[in-house]
Structure 1
């Protein structure tokens, strides 16, 4: 038995480089395959060699199948991610774009922010609408969003600067300017329609 172990060790030592190949390592990690190899080393008959060869070919085919399926899964997942990203980018929700063709109110302005609502109500005291006597102007103002009305009131009734309004509404001065401009454009458009 000691002589047999020595013969097997010598074989593995001489073929160390091949034995360390990952495919051969995985082949030898199976106890049945290791037994066939040891048997072929100790009794190098054609039948024993053929049994090792057939077992290795079967093992190699399985590895190739696993590798092939693994690659399929990998590339399919990449392709799926690309399609999903392309689809998501195709149907982006753009809140800064005008709701109607005329531009005017954006989807972002229509979304009410309840967290700021109480604070905004405190800021808006004497309402802009309370000071308007012209019926056409009043109706035009009522078509504006709450935020647009509040900005107009803060500018024209409270006499606040764009920067001060931006701080109170927790936004940028540029956004306040845009909302102010859109409110005035909408008023202008509505009043012109009624004047015609």
Structure 2
């Protein structure tokens, strides 16, 4: 049993003020059980008391290091994920975010016109295009490709929905749509050669 006042412990506290003010040691001793283990090992310096204090501190320090490791890992993974997403967004922008020409900063969405009190009711995608170069590029597509682009980008259907409507497989619709977009990009001289992941 511990006596209330242990002169060895008081001396230890006075002689080791700097050590006891270390943030890690302060945090360790903030726990009452750890504080009592320190006091017991100083007032009654047996092998068992010192071993119990040592084990408690090793467990405490392991938790600190493990928490720091996990925090650091999460932080760097978050940074790398953010870089990867930014790079993918740069290399593969949404169709409307893409520049109309390689040396242009003007994007396709800047040609999208919205009128609150006017709704264009046409099933021809060409009627929705205001830029002459894009109009010409889309006009050079097959009727099937133009129809697929209309259903996907004007009506907002998925490739699967378009496939059901046109009685084609989702893969065939997706292939036609991608081929059409590729041809439009080619006609507008868009390039993605410097976008290598």
TM-score when scaled to structure 2?
0.50
The match for 1:112 is 113
The match for 2:143 is none
- 1:97-155 deviations in whole A, cap 9, x for unaligned? 16xxxxxxx734641231697xxxxxxxxxxxxxxxxxxxxxxxxxx97996xxxxxxx
Contact between 1:12 and 1:19, CA under 8 Å: does it hold in 2?
yes
The match for 1:80 is 81
The match for 1:55 is 56
TM-score when scaled to structure 1?
0.50
- 1:23-42 deviations in whole A, cap 9, x for unaligned? 21121111111110011121
Runs of 4 or more, structure 1, over 6 Å off, are 144-148
- 1:155-195 deviations in whole A, cap 9, x for unaligned? xxxxxxxxxxxxxxxxxxxxxxxx7xx59xx7xxxxxxxxx
Structure 1 portions without partners, runs of 5+: 99-105, 118-143, 149-178, 187-196
Q: How much does 1:51 deviate? A: 1.1
The match for 1:92 is 93
Query: Residues 147 and 25 from structure 1, CA distance in 2 versus in 1: closer, same or farther, beyond 3 angstroms?
Result: same
Higher helix proportion (structure 1 or 2): 1
- Give the length in aligned residue pairs: 124
RMSD: 3.6
Contact between 1:109 and 1:147, CA under 8 Å: does it hold in 2?
no
Between Structure 1 and Structure 2, whose CA radius of gyration is higher?
A: 1
Contact between 2:112 and 2:129, CA under 8 Å: does it hold in 1?
no
C-alpha distance in structure 2 between counterparts of 1:88 and 1:80, whole Å: 12
Query: Residues 40 and 109 from structure 1, CA distance in 2 versus in 1: closer, same or farther, beyond 3 angstroms?
Result: closer
Query: Residues 63 and 38 from structure 1, CA distance in 2 versus in 1: closer, same or farther, beyond 3 angstroms?
Result: same
Query: Residues 95 and 114 from structure 1, CA distance in 2 versus in 1: closer, same or farther, beyond 3 angstroms?
Result: farther
Q: How much does 1:86 deviate? A: 0.9
More relative contact order, 1 or 2 (CA 8 Å, 6+ apart):
2
Asked if 1:46 corresponds to 2:47, the answer is: yes
Query: Residues 55 and 108 from structure 1, CA distance in 2 versus in 1: closer, same or farther, beyond 3 angstroms?
Result: closer
The match for 1:35 is 36
Contact between 2:40 and 2:49, CA under 8 Å: does it hold in 1?
yes
